[in-house]
Structure 1
Amino acid sequence: MTKIAKRAVLSALLPLTLIACGKGSEKQADDMPAMEGMEKGEAEKPAEKDAVTLSARQIADAGIEVGHPKGGGSAGMIELPALVQGDPQGLQVVSATIGGRVVALNRNLGQPVGRGDTLAVIESREAASLNAEIEAARARAALAQSNLRREQRLFAERVSPEQDLIAARTAATEANIAVRLAQQQLSATGGRAGALNRVAIRAPISGQVIARAATLGQTVAADGELYRIANLSRVTVAASLSPSDAGRIRPGARIVVTAAGRRQEARVTYVSPVLDETTRLVQLIATLDNRGEIWRVGEPVTASVELPATGDRTVTVPSTAVQSVENRTVVFVRTATGFKAVPVTTGRRDGDLVVITSGLTGGERIATTNSFTLKAELGKGGEMDMD
């Protein structure tokens, strides 16, 4: 090819090359803003909200323990001031059954008594009359029996008519009834105590003497108090509820009674269906087994009554697992990279446990101790400094 021809070909190709290069530059220039935007967006993308990134080694070094929430069934406990009272069926006032002079007192305060034991002896004219009536009734009954045997013999010998036999049998029956009546009247006073003018006052129940109102030689009237006996193997705890709480509690609910150095569980036995006219509160009663004699009648205690769960998803967590972050109540749930603060709704406290009414299902793994460390790290941005 001649030099002239080569120049002609180069002259034709040069514009096409310039056009192609121009288009490539324009395309590259158009792509730059998009790439810069992507890089800028990735750089400005924030870390996951409420997350704390920790390795297993850091979790162990921080002393953070992980566990599962406990299944519910309760919406927590409501604490109430309460009072220990004697079981109404286990408290008995022993009174004088007849008027007279106290000649014997056989028990002192604190001493045990058995049912039927003689507690006191009273001397009186009325006692003498009761005993004399028994003796007279027995004598009349013996005479009536003798007459009956005589009439039976005479009737058998055909000496006396049947009418006389019937009359003798009736008289014997009436005499026996009179004896039983006199004995029951004396028994109602406690029974004879040796001499005809004395009666014994006996314990109606087994228990312990908690009060002694009489003194030796004192003249007492009928129904005058002598002793008080209490069977303290069972006691009751009485408390007052607001109507709203009372509507959620039924007999059989669990109750925990606490006092200085003592704690015992029991069951609610009674929730009053009416409000007290003065306090406008509802009375609640629970029964305590007191065979160990650890509770005293009249003692103030604290009663924690279990409230029923409001739903099937109610769970409890240790109080150390609950934290407050930015005016939210949260629990830190374990994730693959650390923990995440999960907002929850809390219910009542049950000792060292807190009821979670919403926010957790019970299947999570949560930080149960030292969760305040996670709260502090969350405030720093969610990254724990590496040593």
Structure 2
Amino acid sequence: MGAAAVVLVGTLARSRRGHGASAESSTRDVPRLDGTSVVFSNAFKERAGLAFTKVESVPFKPAVRVVGTVAFNPTYVAAIGTRLRGTVRRTYKYEGDRVTAGEPLAEVESADLAEAQSTAIQAEASLRTAEVQAKREKDLLEKSLTTAREAEVAATDLANQNANYKAAQQRVRAFGGNGTFGTFVMRSPIAGHVIERALSPGQSVDGSIVGYRVADLDHLWIELSVFERDLGLVHLDDDVEVSPLAEPGVKIIGKVAHVGEIIDPTTRSTAVRVTVDHPKYHLRQGQSVHATVTTGTASRHALLVPHASVVHVDGRPTVFVAESDTRVKPTTVKLGGSDGASYEILDGIVAGQRVANAGVFALKSELFR
């Protein structure tokens, strides 16, 4: 008997002695320890729903199953700021509203914008005057009615006025001027849904306020935290199956877009980002999901047992190997990878053996109470 098996049987024996195993077994139909094995009746087997499956070497492709959180893809999120000081005149959109690219969100009245627009109007008038003067001086020079210096001065003034006009126009554009005098119309640069609004009519604002956030919910991220031991199985572009915790039957397909370069020294894990484009199911930011990453590595043959077959006794992964229909042997095993439904067994059992795959929890509960 191996050292792990000795410890396991010792633990079982102490558990049974501590609860009066002989007296209990004479009055209740419960499993009992017989050497290194556990014996139970057909009645207990039926009551606990015990069933067994054969261990086989089959093609195996590891998968990593973790819990993740839905987040917005920042590439498809827009923060629309107020740009300048003023007063909110009107709001058009509210949280949850759908918007198209270029659609108005709110209006802000601003003296700064009005001043910039006035300056641009004055600059345009000065430019037109300079154009007329420069043309006049050019015509007079051709007729030798003025000096070359006067024509040069007029041409230089025209260039200066043109530069002033372009600068004034640029300042108006920077303030978001788009037609209405003294009124800045906030518009969404992308199509999506309003996820945040920080403006109300009559509110005074300055240029540092983010008035709206708009997100395209057709493009989302799933943020995963993958343990260091599983990182070798996760690669860029691996397929990922995502299911909301509230609805495990829903399956949404994504792909690994980024594997973190830094291991958290406390959790021994790193961040893995999954992109989900055009999900058929409505996901919400902050929602918890199960994610199964199917590794892109080639499949290999391995011994597999169902997840339900493995229990932990004193921290050791353990399976119940059938010796007969009413006799099992608790056996410590060494686990490898997982495909989301089965564990790979590296040591402890061999192909052809049968292990309990149903009623395992009831068996363990009776033995290790």
Q: Does 1:190 align with 2:179?
A: no
Structure 1 residue ranges (4+ consecutive) displaced by more than 6 angstroms after TM superposition: 320-324, 327-331, 356-359
Secondary structure, in 3 states, of the residue corresponding to 1:303?
strand
Contact 2:309 2:319 in 1 (8 A): no
Q: 1:290 to 1:270 in 2, by over 3 A?
A: same
**Aligned to 1:131, what secondary structure does the other structure show?**
helix
The aligned residue for residue 200 of structure 2 is 215
1:107 aligns to what SS in structure 2?
Answer: coil
Partner of 1:305: helix, strand, or coil? strand
Matches within 5 A, 1:107-118: 107-118=93-104
1:211–1:322 Cα change, 3 Å: closer
1:316 Cα deviation from its structure 2 partner = 8.0
What TM-score do you get using the length of structure 2 for normalisation?
0.66
Residues 1:314 and 1:305: Cα distance change in structure 2 (over 3 Å): same
Aligned length: 289
Which is greater in Rg? 1
- Which secondary structure state, in structure 2, belongs to the residue aligned with residue 166 of structure 1? helix
Alignment check: 8 A CA contact 1:121 1:193 kept: no
Report matched runs for 1:237-316 at 5 Å: 237-259=222-244, 260-261=246-247, 262-276=250-264, 279-292=267-280, 294-307=282-295, 313-314=300-301
2:363 corresponds in structure 1 to none
Question: Match for residue 235 of structure 1?
Answer: 220
CA RMSD in angstroms comes to 3.9
Residues 177 and 307 of structure 1, relative CA distance in 2, 3 Å threshold: same
Over 3 Å counting, the alpha-carbon distance change for 1:280 and 1:367 in structure 2 is closer
Classify the secondary structure of the residue corresponding to 1:240.
strand
1:360-371 equivalences in 2 (<5 Å): none
Cα distance between partner residues in 2 of 1:172 and 1:287 = 55
- Percentage identity across paired residues of the two chains: 24
Per the alignment, residue 165 of structure 2 pairs with 179
- 1:18-53 deviation digits (Å, cap 9, x = unpaired): xxxxxxxxxxxxxxxxxxxxxxxxxxxxxxxxxxxx
Q: Which residue of 1 aligns with 2:50?
A: none
Q: Match of 1:60? A: none
Corresponding residue for residue 37 of structure 1: none
SS at match of 2:88: strand
Contact 1:314 1:355 in 2 (8 A): no
Distance 1:101 1:321 in 2: 63
Structure 2: gaps spanning 5 or more residues: 1-52, 312-317, 323-332, 359-369
In 2, are the aligned partners of 1:101 and 1:123 still within 8 Å (CA)? Answer: yes
State whether residues 323 and 330 of structure 1, in contact with CA within 8 Å, keep that contact through their aligned partners in structure 2. Answer: no
TM-score by length of 1: 0.63
Return the alpha-carbon distance in structure 2 between the equivalents of residues 178 and 345 of structure 1.
78
Matches within 5 A, 1:58-137: 71-72=59-60, 74-77=61-64, 79-137=65-123
224-233 or 284-293, which moves further after superposition? 284-293
